[in-house]
Each structure stands twice: as structure tokens, then as C-alpha cells.
Amino acid sequence: MSLILAMVGILMCEVVLRYVFGSPTMWAHETATMIYGSYTILGGAYVLLYNEHVRVDILYSRFSKRTKAILDACTFPLALLFCGVLLWKSTIFGWESLSILEHSVTAWSPPIYPWKMTVPIAFLLVVLQGTSNFIRNLALAFSGRELV
């Protein structure tokens, strides 16, 4: 949430500087874009923690908790494969950026490697949270009781 507050502050600063003082910045839009991208991708694991990802609930919502746990446990390997590939590729992508200390090609030219490193961090968090959910789903599926 603090990233959104920082982004709003930067954009408000840009609006005031541009329209009140007639002196726009060259850094505000790019900075806000990098902050929003990081906020969005890092939110994936948080949303997974609270089981709030979008899904088709036509049938799923009618199932018992145990049946939902079984279905979620069965779909986990596919999700793990998908996120594992994204983690692998984004780590290469981020590491290459970090190794050359990559900067943006704009006139402001800020470093972008810290922002690119948020992608593998985010997918690592999703994989960890997904694994935690998988273990909980297995426990519920086999024992009928939820783990705390």
C-alpha cells in the first residue's frame, strides 16, 4: 500500500509542477510506472495468501471445503510449472539487467535493474505461497481438518 501512496504523491507533484508552475518533470511518469509495475507484480503472492485470485465460481463455489482442497491440490502442479518457468526466465532477465547495471534509455536514464529484480522476487513469493497452500490443501483433503 505504501507504494501506491508514493506513486500518488509523485503524480500529484507532477500535476502541480506542470499545471501550476508550468515546469513539468521528466522523471515522474517513469517513476510512477516502475512503482506501479512493482506493486502489481508483488501483489500476486499476497492475493494468493487470501485466496482472492479470479476464478470461475459457477461450480467451484458449490463444493465443500474438502472438495475445493482436492481440486486445488490437483491443479497445483500445473500452476507450479507455470510459475517455476516464469521464475526461471525472470531470474535470467533480472540477473542480466543487474550484471550490466542497466539504465533506462530515456533522457532521465534511471537505473532499472532494481525494478527488474522485483519480477523474480515476486514469482519466488508466489511459488512459496502456492506451496504453502498446497500443503494446507493436502492436509484438508486427507484428514478433513484445516491446518492453522
At 15, the pLDDT band (50, 70, 90 cuts) reads very high
Range of the domain at 27: 2-143
65's CB contacts (< 8 A; 6+ apart) are 140, 146
> What is the pLDDT at residue 35?
94
Please report whether residue 124 resides in a domain.
yes
The answer to whether residues 83 and 113 touch, using CB atoms and an 8 Å cutoff, is no
Total of domains in the chain: 1
Cα 10-14-20 angle, rounded to 5 deg:
140
Please report whether residue 148 resides in a domain.
no
- Whole-model pTM? 0.87
> What is the pLDDT at residue 5?
95
Question: Helix, strand, coil shares of the chain as percentages rounded to 5?
Answer: 75, 0, 25
